[in-house]
Amino acid sequence: LGKSYHCHQGMLRSARELDIEIRPLVLALIEANPDYKVVIVGHSLGAGVGALLAAIWHSEQNSELSQTTCYAFGTPCACDLNLSQHLQPIVKTVVVGDDVVPRLSLASMHDLRKRVVTTFDYTADEEEFPCDLQAHIFSAAPDYPPPPPPSSSDPKAPSSPRSDIKGPPPPVQSPPSSPDRAMDSTTAPLAPPPPPPPPPPAAA
């Protein structure tokens, strides 16, 4: 590419192996169809590998593969900012809604960890911790306002985030057995109850 860039090591290894595997076939198809163009399409992990493969082929100025373009859907973070900007003319990335994969990176994980640790250190009362943590999370995403607090007129709404937690949670009740319930690999028959203990011996 003429410069040094940083990218995901595993995705780059996969792109190089894919290059070795399909290059002869792609070149043969280009020779048989000179008017055709090569377009790489990938999703998620395949999008990251496809983008790096397009970068490899695009760097070959005197090759038939230099005009390769790529459409990447839900692309993970595969390269640094400089390479991303360099590939803008040939790689088109599509992100649907709030997909976390294109937004997940080492930097974003460090930022989330820093926010959680800072909130935990700042909050002295553990009852306030869930509210403060929620405020920090939504402050990082201003386009998504936090949900409204529960109405005070709602009899089911707790007065504080943890006021409804008093002591250990109640035991989980098993659902009543039904004779027509199908038996599968996740349901096992219940063992019969143990026999009652024998009565004590009569006094002499």
3-class secondary structure, 47 = helix
Give the residues across from 93 on adjacent strands: 72
For residue 76, the SS3 value is coil
Architecture of the 9-100 domain: 3-Layer(aba) Sandwich (3.40)
pLDDT at 147: 58
pLDDT of residue 24: 95
Query: Contact 130/138 with Cβ under 8 angstroms?
Result: no
What's the pLDDT score for residue 188? 39
pLDDT score, position 20: 96
The 8-class DSSP code of residue 164 comes to T
| Residues facing 94 on adjacent strands | 73
Residue 184: per-residue pLDDT: 38
Please list the alpha-helical segments (H only) found in 33-127.
Answer: 45-58, 81-86, 106-122
pLDDT on residue 43: 96
Q: Contact 78/11 with Cβ under 8 angstroms? A: yes
- By 3-state DSSP, what share of the chain in percent is helix, strand and coil, each rounded to 5? 40, 10, 55
Question: H helices of 69-153, where?
Answer: 81-86, 106-122, 129-139
| CA proximity to 40, closest of 20, 5, 10, 15 | 15
What the block records as the tokens of 39 is 């377009």
Domain ranges of the chain: 9-100, 106-139
pTM for the whole structure:
0.56
On whether the CB atoms of residues 89 and 55 are closer than 8 A, the answer is no
41 forms beta bridges with: 71
Q: What is the pLDDT of residue 124?
A: 52
Q: What is the pLDDT along the chain (204 residues), one digit of tens a residue?
A: 557 888 899 999 999 999 999 999 999 999 999 999 999 999 999 999 999 999 999 988 778 899 999 999 999 989 988 999 999 999 999 999 988 888 888 888 888 888 777 766 655 555 555 565 566 566 655 555 555 665 555 555 444 444 444 444 445 444 444 444 333 333 334 445 566 667 666 665
Q: What is the pLDDT of residue 182?
A: 39
What tokens does 21 get? Answer: 């595997």
